[in-house]
Structure 1
Amino acid sequence: MSARTITEPARQTPVYGEYDVVVLGGGPSGMAAAVSAAKAGRSTLLVERYGFLGGMGTAAGVTNFCGLHANVHGDIRRVVHGVATELLERIDRLGGLNTPHALFGKTVAQAYDTAAYKVAADQLMQSAGVHLFFHALAAGAVMDSQRRVGALLVETKSGRRAILGRTFIDASGDGDLAAWAGASFEKGDGAGSFLYPSTMFRINGIDPQRAGSAWEVIPKLMQQAEAEGRWRFPRKTPIVRPQKSGIEWRVNLTQLANAEGNAIDGTDADELTQAELLGRKQIADVAGFLREVPGFERSYIVDIAPQVGIRETRRVNGLYQLTERDVLDCASFDDTVGVNGWPLELHKKGDVEFRWPKIPESRGFNHLPYRMTVPPGFDNLWVAGRCASMTHEAQSAARVTGACFVMGEAAGAAAHLALQAGVAAEKVDVRQLQARLEAQGAWLGRED
């Protein structure tokens, strides 16, 4: 990339609006944060680069909620509630929610229809009084002081705009706002690689009776096809499961690397471009193989996700950094704002590695502390979602939907309480925060 620069002329940027709470990113953490703040009576703006909400769940075609449940001493139960429950109920009323399905005999996940998700998310935001600003790509931050964010800069079809706020929640997934504000962060595993991204796709035309439990036989068919030299796959562990209609299935079997063989960097525009091309190439090959699977002979690609599915980029350093041991040892924290019930899910070169807490001996979930959403040195900034304060290994677990809902709802409630008390993010009364979250229907995992 060229190191040349040009000098832009000074300009006056129009102010789009001023809000109590400005949330960047419309994924599960951003949606939960916005609803939590708006329901507290705060004027709240949710800024999203696409024309719909859902984050990786829609834009990257994930079509699967992970981390809503945990295996608690052998009993698989729902552990994430609050705003998440409101959203799932709306998706269900639209006929777009599957019953939870078993994974590895240790937990469950829950598939959904992306169209229903988008509509349900719109309904939820509007019912809570959240202001939405779509097709707005965040481009920078303006600081009122070293400790206070004053404005978020965005680029839109109407031109560059400034959004003023009293508080800001970075739910961008990439920690964009926090990084622009000067917060410290980490990237990847410290050895030059991130969790590998994937490009998701869906296929149609499956015969559900003949396909049966195809997800159980596909790994063996892959091994056979590779041994015979007919196909090569980007990774070993496939995820091929049915949607609400048995004739449509979702497929997660790509793995995207850069020229050096490392996971692509989702904050690098050139690498993202190459990843999009590579993902579609891999999809064409995988779809060809799947037509050899019984029941899939007449299958065809019905949708390729609008963007690469990013699992990890920046992780903003907070007052506490969640660790691998916290996840595997089912750690408890006095400042819990909810729980994570998902195991470590490390997308490594050529495969996916799961590491679980002891099941059924353990309670199967760890607390998520409020401190992991608070970057030190900032009075009015929170981070929520996959860019919150975690190690590389812990992030592989707590980046999934369930934990993102938890962190987002807590950040939105904390922003309200900080404004109410006139205090900085790190001085929010945790007991008040916990009481508010429980009043909103959230479960903090303290009974166990």
Structure 2
Amino acid sequence: MSKQVVIAGGGSAGTVAALAAARNGAQVLLLERGECLGGVATSGALSVWGPFDDGDRLLDWDRDGRIEAGQPLTPEMQVGKRIIKGIPEEILQRLTDAGAATDYQYGFIPVNPETLKLVLEDMLLECGVEILYGTQVYDVVRAGDRIAALCIGNKRGSQQLPGEVFIDTTGDADVAEFAGVPTETGRASDGQTQGVTMVFKLGGANFAGRFYQLREEISQAEERFTEAYQRGECTHLYKVGCINKIPGMSGVVAVNTQHSYNINACDPKDMQKAILQGRRQCHEIAALMKKYLKGFEQSFLLETAQYLGIRETRRITGKYVFTREDILSAREFADSIGRNAYNLDIHLPGAPGIGDPIFLKPGSSYSIPYSVLLPQKIHNLLVAGRCISSTHEAQSSLRIMPCCMVTGQAAGTAAALCLQYGCLPGELPIKVLQAKLREQKVCL
């Protein structure tokens, strides 16, 4: 089963990395612990992407309301310039053509997770990627400063998978950690990571627009939630959170509100706690919404996510560590491999709430340097997705799925070019990589 490029993790970053590597001529094997591709967007039930543009994020919800009300958008209300293109845009177009994604003019984009699973598999199979589901990486075999093979386990037992270039898109930097790459976890002060969330789906919802944003109704419902908590009707004090309709599923919504705190998602005991707590709380929240939230009187719980929504665990220490200041200054890097415009979005580690989001100026975005994909110590490994080299604060912007796809496309393209040029990822001329990314319509 030896392949030239072996990728661990079939979420948004890993799937796009596999596509990019295969389209550029590499033989690719993609390993995924679950039974579908897409990660948080599918198994995690978080079926909303965005932003793909550099518009004013504070206007996203108002823009949604105006469009649904049939009101024209004034120039300042228009969505921004699209800065995430390439393979992510291609996936989005396939979903849109299938009626499984909403019009881009809104900003944030709900997608249909079932269609997404099929679209991603079709795209990988079209270019010859081999997918191995139900497979976990548990160690690596090193040969000096390189990885010789990944140690994997599945229903056939354990085995070693050799390769020439490896890409870690596990989200938790598992491969990097096993190989001895320096990593950091959480805040610099105490190692605490952002809260984790179990997303759930409801059927029978009835409201206008793609997102539930009736402010008065939300305020009234949350008052009732508080009273219910004080009466002992529920175990925690809940918020309504983010609710979005799922395209092609009448009356079905995804609800992103539950949080578990003080969780290290790389610790199995903490994960057990978060899963058990999360599922119980999803049932409680669903019951409260049915009882107290307008438009949910006939709602019912359809599904709790198969995977927890993990915002942050390990991050590699790479050749460069991306910082908060790089984002807020909209820094331009000479080794740029893509762009992002999402705000700083820290879900507090130890208590309910979200740290004050800090937004970029409308029309601005920052470049992502290739050097944050290059780990220290191991020279035939690339890293993409939410575990790239960054600080705790910067990671809160980099972690979103469109940005993970951007870094995935860069990593997959770089891996294939390394095979063509007979070099290691850190030796690949940046202008060669950038030229190839531009050919693939990536915005640098």
TM-score, reference length from structure 1: 0.88
Question: C-alpha offsets along residues 112-157 of structure 1, whole Å, 9 cap, x if unaligned?
Answer: 1110010001011011221111111111101122x11010111111
Q: Is the 8 A contact 1:378 1:424 kept in 2?
A: no
Distance in 2 (CA, whole Å) between partners of 1:175 and 1:185 is 8
Q: CA deviation at 1:427?
A: 1.4
Instruction: State the SS of the aligned residue for 2:426.
Output: helix
**Residues 1:85 and 2:86 are matched in the alignment:** no
Q: CA deviation at 1:366?
A: 0.8
- CA-based RMSD: 2.1
Going from structure 1 to structure 2, the CA distance change for 1:209 and 1:110 (only over 3 Å counts) comes to closer
Instruction: State the SS of the aligned residue for 1:426.
Output: helix
Q: CA deviation at 1:223?
A: 3.7
Q: Is the 8 A contact 1:113 1:243 kept in 2?
A: yes
Q: Is the 8 A contact 1:329 1:357 kept in 2?
A: no
Going from structure 1 to structure 2, the CA distance change for 1:366 and 1:376 (only over 3 Å counts) comes to same
Distance in 1 (CA, whole Å) between partners of 2:265 and 2:220 is 32
Distance in 2 (CA, whole Å) between partners of 1:338 and 1:77 is 14
**Residues 1:341 and 2:341 are matched in the alignment:** yes
> What's 2:289 paired with?
290
> What's 1:69 paired with?
53
Between Structure 1 and Structure 2, which shows a larger proportion of strand residues? 1
Question: C-alpha offsets along residues 84-123 of structure 1, whole Å, 9 cap, x if unaligned?
Answer: 1221222223321122475xxxxx2111111001000101
> What's 1:51 paired with?
35
> What's 2:353 paired with?
351
Listed as ranges, the gaps of 5+ residues in structure 2 are 58-75
Alignment of structure 1 residues 4-403 onto 2, 5 Å:
17-71=1-55, 76-100=80-104, 102=106, 108-145=107-144, 147-190=145-188, 191-208=190-207, 213-228=212-227, 229=230, 233=236, 236=239, 238-244=241-247, 245-257=249-261, 262=262, 264-291=263-290, 292-348=292-348, 349-360=351-362, 363-403=363-403
Q: CA deviation at 1:421?
A: 2.0
Q: CA deviation at 1:167?
A: 0.4
Distance in 2 (CA, whole Å) between partners of 1:249 and 1:266 is 26
Look up the equivalent residue of 1:441 and give its one-letter code: K
Distance in 2 (CA, whole Å) between partners of 1:406 and 1:153 is 27
Instruction: State the SS of the aligned residue for 1:31.
Output: helix
Question: C-alpha offsets along residues 308-358 of structure 1, whole Å, 9 cap, x if unaligned?
Answer: 111100000111111111112211101100111110111012112352334
Question: C-alpha offsets along residues 358-410 of structure 1, whole Å, 9 cap, x if unaligned?
Answer: 433xx331100000000122221011000100100110110101111111111
Q: Which runs of 4+ in 1 moved over 6 A?
A: none
Distance in 2 (CA, whole Å) between partners of 1:92 and 1:79 is 18
Question: C-alpha offsets along residues 410-436 of structure 1, whole Å, 9 cap, x if unaligned?
Answer: 111111222222222211110010000
Distance in 2 (CA, whole Å) between partners of 1:347 and 1:142 is 36
Q: CA deviation at 1:234?
A: 5.0
Farther-moved stretch of structure 1 (134-143 vs 242-251): 242-251
Instruction: State the SS of the aligned residue for 1:174.
Output: coil
TM-score, reference length from structure 2: 0.89
Instruction: State the SS of the aligned residue for 2:55.
Output: strand
Q: CA deviation at 1:172?
A: 0.4
Distance in 2 (CA, whole Å) between partners of 1:438 and 1:211 is 33
Q: Is the 8 A contact 2:398 2:404 kept in 1?
A: yes
Q: CA deviation at 1:221?
A: 2.4
Question: C-alpha offsets along residues 56-78 of structure 1, whole Å, 9 cap, x if unaligned?
Answer: 11111110112322227965232
Between Structure 1 and Structure 2, which shows a larger proportion of helix residues? 2
Instruction: State the SS of the aligned residue for 2:33.
Output: coil
State the identity as a percent: 30
Look up the equivalent residue of 2:392 and give its one-letter code: H
> What's 1:105 paired with?
none
Going from structure 1 to structure 2, the CA distance change for 1:218 and 1:173 (only over 3 Å counts) comes to farther
Q: CA deviation at 1:246?
A: 4.9
Count how many residue pairs are aligned between Structure 1 and Structure 2: 415
Listed as ranges, the gaps of 5+ residues in structure 1 are 1-16, 103-107
Alignment of structure 1 residues 402-421 onto 2, 5 Å:
402-421=402-421
Going from structure 1 to structure 2, the CA distance change for 1:206 and 1:72 (only over 3 Å counts) comes to closer
Instruction: State the SS of the aligned residue for 1:160.
Output: strand
Question: C-alpha offsets along residues 148-172 of structure 1, whole Å, 9 cap, x if unaligned?
Answer: 1010111111111211100000000
Look up the equivalent residue of 1:30 and give its one-letter code: G
Distance in 2 (CA, whole Å) between partners of 1:220 and 1:242 is 20
Going from structure 1 to structure 2, the CA distance change for 1:392 and 1:297 (only over 3 Å counts) comes to same
Q: Is the 8 A contact 1:210 1:295 kept in 2?
A: no
